[in-house]
């Protein structure tokens, strides 16, 4: 059997590895010159930048993925001792460590919360995460045979622990007293491009990865998350076609026949789309009726990112840094309702050179400066970005107590229009649909087509959702579904 995979993000590369392990002939098609989807790198002068995701959790998933093809493979990484450094408009600065006990102690000292109360909350998120993981993340919600297993009973046993009737913010507000503490937990909604004032409380389980386990940094930077799987897959015979955009998924009645690219037609028995699910239907399946109920959901946020090579190092900053907006709710209303950039934005700064010293010259730093942004609906982005840059510089200069603009030696900008054009993210959305309603987990597209035999879907815009760990799990679900649909492959599993 031959498989064609559209795109080369981590969901695509994980699918390639999972399906190659089953003995299939696998071809991966990437419209751009560089493999990796959003997880790519660029050098600006003497600075190296990771261009896409900057938070890495569950590193064991990468090791396990690589070991599907090479049992001796390892994925080296640094385990960070801080989750993030937080800066507030009133001048307060807090370095939040990792692991429950240390987090609870720091929050008690910094914000006056009950240490026992915080620890209880983090314990609950750990238990919720472990109960939900095998039910909502590791399996398809769209095949009954996946659902009816022992883990479902355990998950249902905690039904009243999830806060199903609450939003993330409502649950956090019930549990904590200090608005600054609430803001730290609310920000976890941005991990899949959603608003904590709309997203279900269930998503507070992200605290398990961010705070209880803590983030890591791959040796060599975030780009290794796609670079290592690509190198291994290529060694094992997966064929990669770069600079070759897929134009159409070819069908024979209700069955996959192959792919049409800018260069040729290819015959395939199975096709996996790692492309944004909206564009998969709009651009590649023009004759197929799309699932309107799923695709009409509100889209996730986009982002504006400034990549700055800074001619000085800043001891106040760590690998991950957040400078909060004063009015967080107003910022999310701007993003999702008025589709504007808030005048006092929350600013995130990622500095990989704090750990990977070769990413910047000695005594200098590579700054990835990001603001969550609305999707592109025709805003005057050139003017908006110019104004945003000014506001960010003012906010950072105030927090760091110096004018930082003179230290910018290199600069590049990414924004919603470019995210759409380069990565085919519908209107610049990063994760497809947002999780801004109580049923969002059930309103993501399945990992297989119910209409077309041989068509599957992986990546952050389909089930189970946004983020690197979920994209890898989407590929595992695809492989399981392929095995179920093609019984002759089972002896190779």
At 177 the pLDDT is 97
The Cα 19–Cα 11 span in angstroms is: 12
The Cα 130–Cα 398 span in angstroms is: 41
CA distances from 477 to 49, 249, 483, 485 (A): 31, 21, 10, 12
Q: Which helix (H) or strand (E) holds 473?
A: helix 468-485
Nearest by Cα to 429 from 380, 374, 467, 384: 374
pLDDT in tens, the chain (493 residues): 999 999 999 999 999 999 999 999 999 999 999 999 999 999 999 999 999 999 999 999 999 999 999 999 999 999 999 999 999 999 999 999 999 999 999 999 999 999 999 999 999 999 999 988 888 888 898 887 777 666 676 766 676 677 888 999 999 999 999 999 999 999 999 999 999 999 999 999 999 999 999 999 999 999 999 999 999 999 999 999 999 999 999 999 999 999 999 999 999 999 999 999 999 999 999 999 999 988 999 999 999 999 999 999 999 999 999 999 999 999 999 999 999 999 999 999 999 999 999 999 999 999 999 999 999 999 999 999 999 999 999 999 999 999 999 999 999 999 999 999 999 999 999 999 999 998 887 889 999 999 999 999 999 999 999 999 999 999 999 999 999 999 888 776 6
Residues 6+ away with beta carbon under 8 Å from 248: 259, 260, 284, 285, 286
At 132 the pLDDT is 87
Can you give the C-alpha Rg of the chain in angstroms?
22
The Cα 124–Cα 147 span in angstroms is: 23
At 160 the pLDDT is 64
Nearest by Cα to 187 from 322, 302, 79, 53: 322
Strand partners, 258: 250, 267
Residue with tokens 């982005």: 381
At 146 the pLDDT is 78
Q: Do 325 and 344 contact (CB within 8 A), yes or no? A: yes
The Cα 123–Cα 266 span in angstroms is: 51
Nearest by Cα to 199 from 460, 440, 466, 375: 440
Residue with tokens 């134009």: 247
Residues 6+ away with beta carbon under 8 Å from 333: none
Q: Is 346 exposed, middle or buried (0-12, 13-18, 19+ CB in 10 A)?
A: buried
The Cα 15–Cα 480 span in angstroms is: 11
Question: Going from the N-terminus, what domains does the chain have, and what CATH number goes with each?
Answer: 1-33+242-297+435-493 (3.50.50.60), 40-61+73-98+301-430 (3.90.660.20), 114-213 (no CATH)
Strand partners, 303: 372
Residues 6+ away with beta carbon under 8 Å from 11: 37, 274, 458, 459, 460, 471, 472, 474, 475
The Cα 441–Cα 435 span in angstroms is: 7
Q: Do 353 and 360 contact (CB within 8 A), yes or no? A: yes
At 493 the pLDDT is 60
Q: If you ran DSSP here, which 8-state letter would residue 476 be given? A: H
């Amino acid at each position: 059997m031959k498989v064609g995979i559209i795109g080369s993000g981590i969901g695509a590369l994980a699918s390639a590895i999972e399906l190659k392990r089953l003995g299939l002939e696998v071809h991966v098609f990437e419209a751009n010159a560089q493999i990796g989807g959003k997880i790519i790198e660029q050098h600006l002068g003497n600075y190296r930048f990771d261009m896409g995701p900057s938070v890495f959790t569950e590193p064991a998933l990468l090791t396990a993925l690589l070991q599907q093809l090479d049992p001796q493979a390892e994925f080296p990484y640094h385990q960070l001792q801080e989750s993030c450094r937080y800066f507030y408009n009133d001048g307060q600065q807090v370095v939040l460590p990792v692991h429950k006990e240390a987090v609870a102690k720091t929050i008690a000292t910094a914000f006056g919360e009950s240490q026992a109360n915080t620890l209880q909350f983090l314990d609950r998120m750990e238990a919720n995460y472990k109960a939900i993981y095998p039910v909502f993340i590791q399996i398809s919600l769209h095949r009954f045979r996946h659902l009816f297993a022992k883990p479902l009973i355990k998950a249902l046993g905690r039904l009243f622990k999830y806060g199903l009737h609450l939003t993330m913010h409502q649950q956090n507000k019930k549990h904590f007293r200090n608005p600054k503490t609430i803001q730290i937990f609310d920000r976890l909604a941005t991990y899949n491009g959603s608003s904590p004032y709309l997203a279900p409380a269930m998503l507070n389980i992200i605290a398990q990865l961010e705070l209880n386990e803590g983030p890591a940094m791959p040796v060599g930077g975030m780009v290794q998350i796609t670079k290592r799987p690509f190198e291994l897959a290529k060694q094992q015979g997966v064929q990669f076609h770069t600079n070759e955009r897929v134009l159409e998924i070819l069908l024979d009645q209700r069955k996959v026949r192959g792919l049409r690219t800018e260069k040729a037609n290819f015959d395939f028995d199975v096709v996996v789309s790692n492309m944004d699910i909206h564009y998969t239907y709009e651009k590649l399946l023009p004759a197929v009726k799309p699932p309107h109920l799923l695709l009409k959901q509100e889209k996730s946020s986009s982002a504006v990112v400034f990549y700055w090579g800074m001619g000085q190092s800043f001891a106040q900053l760590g690998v991950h840094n957040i400078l909060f907006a004063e009015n967080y709710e107003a910022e999310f209303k701007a993003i999702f309702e008025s589709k504007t950039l808030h005048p006092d934005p929350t600013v995130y700064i990622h500095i990989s050179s704090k750990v990977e010293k070769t990413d910047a010259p000695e005594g200098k730093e590579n700054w990835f400066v990001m603001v969550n942004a609305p999707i592109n609906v025709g805003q005057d982005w050139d003017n908006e970005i110019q104004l945003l840059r000014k506001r960010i510089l003012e906010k950072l200069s105030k927090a760091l107590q110096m004018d930082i603009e003179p230290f910018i030696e290199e600069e590049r900008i990414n924004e919603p229009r470019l995210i759409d054009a380069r990565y085919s993210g519908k209107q610049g959305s990063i994760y497809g649909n947002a999780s801004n309603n109580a049923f969002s987990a059930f309103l993501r597209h399945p990992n297989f087509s119910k209409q077309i035999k041989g068509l599957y879907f992986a990546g952050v815009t389909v089930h189970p959702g946004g983020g690197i760990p979920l994209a890898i799990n989407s590929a595992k679900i695809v492989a399981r579904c392929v095995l179920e649909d093609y019984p002759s492959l089972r002896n190779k599993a």
